[in-house]
């Protein structure tokens, strides 16, 4: 096996708390094996524009000192439409070749990994993905880096919203991130004791009018039987127009005032919780070990608390769904609430 001398690393797509912890562990592990780590900044843009912009840097131990607790990514991140083009892919491959890179580690989500899959047609070094996305929507891994922190951040925000909602006996509709995944929505909704959780697993836009009437009836029934707040948690990209539009439609359909609150990018920021720091550290070390073992075209994953490898093709298949136990739990809670058994 050819000795590995230089590894490249970049963060791509949406940032996720714990990315810095993963970068740190890659550098520490590589240093242990006397391997250089070359970082490229602003995602794949750093590879494509390395000729005319100072995007590349050799990472030292000092560079990753005291970053495990920091949110965001010290390597910066960005979308890169040029990775969808033949010229962009060829330029990225050219940069890796000129820099004498043996393997490339990309920390990101499915878009970032699709970039890796496209790049393998133009570059023959080792390609390793580390799942960093708050959406938790990559197949083959129980959790992705950043998910636990995003859930925690949203829970803290909704707990505060609940205080105001209780004070005014008001209905709040809180929209959560996740793109087209309901993992954040269901975990947060149940943990916050939300009266309603609307996500891709229990709602179809074809049933919009039926759901609107159902919501109105259930809210009215709840208000007649008790005083207090009513929280609806909704996944982004679910209801046409989002939480703001749903609030407007409930106002028209049921003559009830609702306050819409879109948490947005607050869910991506902040110091990673211990679970994300640990996951990122384990995955970063595993990525370096996989490279040394000659692995290629894989994503580092965790299943049942054990690190494993999944092919990049498998990782982006989008078969991963929210646990049916969570969906059933919310439905059971809703049924019990309707019967005033709470």
Q: Is residue 228 scored above 90 in pLDDT?
A: no
Three-class SS state of 28: helix
Task: Return d(Cα 285, Cα 61) in angstroms, integer.
Answer: 15
Angle of the 147-168 helix axis to the 274-292 helix axis, nearest 10: 160
User: Is the four-CA dihedral 162, 167, 169, 175 of positive or negative sign?
Assistant: negative
Query: Over pLDDT 90: what percentage of the chain?
Result: 82
Q: Which residues are catalytic?
A: 135
Three-class SS state of 126: strand
Surface-to-core class of residue 313, CB atoms within 10 Å of its CB (0-12 exposed, 13-18 middle, 19+ buried): middle
Q: Is residue 204 scored above 80 in pLDDT?
A: yes
- Residue identified by tokens 């970068």 is 23
pLDDT band of 338, cuts 50, 70, 90: low
Least confident of 73-87, 140-154, 322-336: 322-336
Quick one: pLDDT at residue 53? Answer: 58
Q: Is residue 76 scored above 60 in pLDDT?
A: yes
Three-class SS state of 57: strand
pLDDT band of 331, cuts 50, 70, 90: confident
Segment 174-192 shows an average pLDDT of 95
Segment 271-295 shows an average pLDDT of 98
Q: Is residue 341 scored above 50 in pLDDT?
A: no
Q: Is residue 54 scored above 70 in pLDDT?
A: no
pTM of the model: 0.94
Quick one: pLDDT at residue 255? Answer: 86
Query: Could you give the residue ranges of the DSSP H alpha helices within 80-144?
Result: 86-98, 110-119
Domains of the chain with CATH codes? 6-146+272-315 (3.40.50.450), 149-268 (3.40.50.460)
Task: Return d(Cα 120, Cα 296) in angstroms, integer.
Answer: 10
The beta strands (E) that lie in the chain are given as: 6-11, 36-40, 56-58, 103-108, 126-131, 171-176, 196-198, 230-235, 258-262, 298-303, 306-311
């Amino acid at each position: 096996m050819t000795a590995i001398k230089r590894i490249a690393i970049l963060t791509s797509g949406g940032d996720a708390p714990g990315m810095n912890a993963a970068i740190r562990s890659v550098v520490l592990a590589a240093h242990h094996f006397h391997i250089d780590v070359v970082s490229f900044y602003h995602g794949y843009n750093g590879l494509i524009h390395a000729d005319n912009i100072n995007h590349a840097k050799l990472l030292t131990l000092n560079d990753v000192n005291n970053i495990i607790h920091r949110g965001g990514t010290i390597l910066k991140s960005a979308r890169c439409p040029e990775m969808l083009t033949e010229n962009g892919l060829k330029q990225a491959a050219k940069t890796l070749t000129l820099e004498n890179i043996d393997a490339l580690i990309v920390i990101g989500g499915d878009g970032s990994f699709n970039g890796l899959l496209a790049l393998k047609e133009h570059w023959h070094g080792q390609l390793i993905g580390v799942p960093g996305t708050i959406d938790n929507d990559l197949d083959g891994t129980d959790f992705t880096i950043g998910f636990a922190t995003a859930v925690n951040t949203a829970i803290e925000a909704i707990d505060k919203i609940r205080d105001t909602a209780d004070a005014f006996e008001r209905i709040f509709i809180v929209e959560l991130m996740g793109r087209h995944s309901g993992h954040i929505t269901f975990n947060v909704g149940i943990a916050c004791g939300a009266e309603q959780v609307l996500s891709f697993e229990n709602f179809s836009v074809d049933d919009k009018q039926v759901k609107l009437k159902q919501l109105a009836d259930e809210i009215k029934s709840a208000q007649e039987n008790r005083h207090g707040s009513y929280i609806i948690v909704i996944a982004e990209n679910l209801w046409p127009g989002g939480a703001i539009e749903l609030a407007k439609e409930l106002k028209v359909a049921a003559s009830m005032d609702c306050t819409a609150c879109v948490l947005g990018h607050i869910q991506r920021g902040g110091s990673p919780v211990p679970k994300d720091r640990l996951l990122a550290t384990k995955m970063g070390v595993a990525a370096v070990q996989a490279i040394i073992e000659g692995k290629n075209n894989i994503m580092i994953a965790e299943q049942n608390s054990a690190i494993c490898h999944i092919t990049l093709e498998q990782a982006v298949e989008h078969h991963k769904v929210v646990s049916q136990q969570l969906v059933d739990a919310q439905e059971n809670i809703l049924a019990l609430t309707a019967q005033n058994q709470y």
